[in-house]
Amino acid sequence: MTDFAANLSQEGSSNAKVLTVSELNRIAKNILEQSFPLFWVSGEVSNFTRAASGHWYFSLKDAGAQVRCVMFKGRNSYVDFTPREGDKIEARATVTLYEARGDFQLTVEFVQRAGLGALFEAFEKLKRKLSAEGLFDADIKCAIPKHPKQIGVVTSADAAALRDVLTTLKRRMPNIPVIIYPTPVQGKGAAQLIANAINTAHERAECDVLIICRGGGSIEDLWQFNEEIVARAIANCTIPTISGVGHETDFTICDFVADTRAATPTAAAELATPSRADILNKTNQLKLQLAKNMQFVLNQKSQALDYLARRVISPSQQIAQQKNQVIQLTNRLNNSISQQLQRKQQNLLRLNQNLQHLNPQAVLTRGYAFVQNKLGNIVSTSSQLQNGDEVTLTFGSGSAEANITKIKH
């Protein structure tokens, strides 16, 4: 009891304080909050209201009593379900008092469906067991094939999850055959039937990848995928497995044992198949890249051809120039030879003329004669002769023998 409350209990005190209602409610609120730590309470939901502010207001009741509750927006945004009238829930709360009306109430920090505590405990226990055995180890996981030839699906034949998977597979890669291994995914005995379907797929070995899926739901709805028998069947399956159970926030033992976890059944179908649109897009990109590379090579070769052509043209031009030079040199040589020949001919003509002038025969034709002694020497003076010498007289035409009879000096 607080000192202030003790003072209030002193009867007959002349100094007793008279409280206002606000003060009374504040004192009561403080006492309640200090006396009750955070605790769990269970009950049935009634009068549930979601205010415009986002806060939840409801009552929890059992057969003998009820209590008002408030759960503020900042806390209820972390809850994955919205309580409904008649739901059995467990609330983690503190006791307080709403001063404005003097209402005793609980401020709720967290809620879960009744009985989840035991389910979570069983979940964690099995998770620790299988993890210790190595069933979750990354090094034993199989890679999902990029281009499967056939895909298997373990789920309920009339489930919305199956329709989502088939629609996605048809959209992404319609040419891949799909084999369905139908099984109930909820209700009593469903875990054994799910395990049987997985074992059947394993024994037939007719698929390259196996999708194990069902739609979202409460932890109770998904509990069949938290059973050990299902986990063992997945671990024993030699086909690469994809777990697509529930929604993105749902986790099951199946997710940890499978080779790959998908957030939803649709996501599982996307992981199991390549995208036809992506393949076509990549093919077009490769086509464009190939065309670009080919054009680049053609441009390079064309440039090289142009270079060689220029080199061919250049020698051709050089040959033509050299040919012109040869022609010019030939012409010059011919001209030079012709000029030289003309000069030689002129010189020859001149020499011939001179020779004609100097030719004694020509002189002789004009009535002259030359004298030769017996030795054939020309006699140019009379002193070379003696009386009685025999000489030969050569005329312009013919010759004669003569004897010297008289010499004049």
Distance CA 66, CA 90 (A): 14
Residues 6+ positions from 347 with CB-CB distance below 8 Å = none
Contact predicate 3/17, CB 8 Å: no
Least confident range from 61-75, 125-139, 283-297, 334-348: namely 334-348
- Which residue ranges form the domains of the chain, and what is each CATH number? 19-114 (2.40.50.140), 123-274 (3.40.50.261), 362-403 (no CATH)
Read off the DSSP letter of residue 382: G
- List pLDDT tens digits, range 19-57: 888 888 899 888 888 888 889 999 999 999 999 999 999
pLDDT of residue 93: 93
Dihedral sign (CA 22, 27, 28, 32):
positive
Question: Residue 67: pLDDT above 90?
Answer: yes
Helix segments in 41-159, DSSP class H:
73-76, 116-132
The 3-state DSSP class for residue 84 equals coil
Distance CA 391, CA 401 (A): 6
The 3-state DSSP class for residue 387 equals coil
CA angle 16, 21, 25 (to 5 degrees): 100
pLDDT mean across residues, the chain: 87
4 pLDDT band (50/70/90 cuts)? low
Contact predicate 247/186, CB 8 Å: no
Distance CA 34, CA 43 (A): 23
Residue of higher predicted confidence among 184 and 14: 184
Residues 6+ positions from 219 with CB-CB distance below 8 Å = 113, 116, 119, 120
Q: Report percent pLDDT > 70 for the chain.
A: 94
Distance CA 215, CA 262 (A): 12
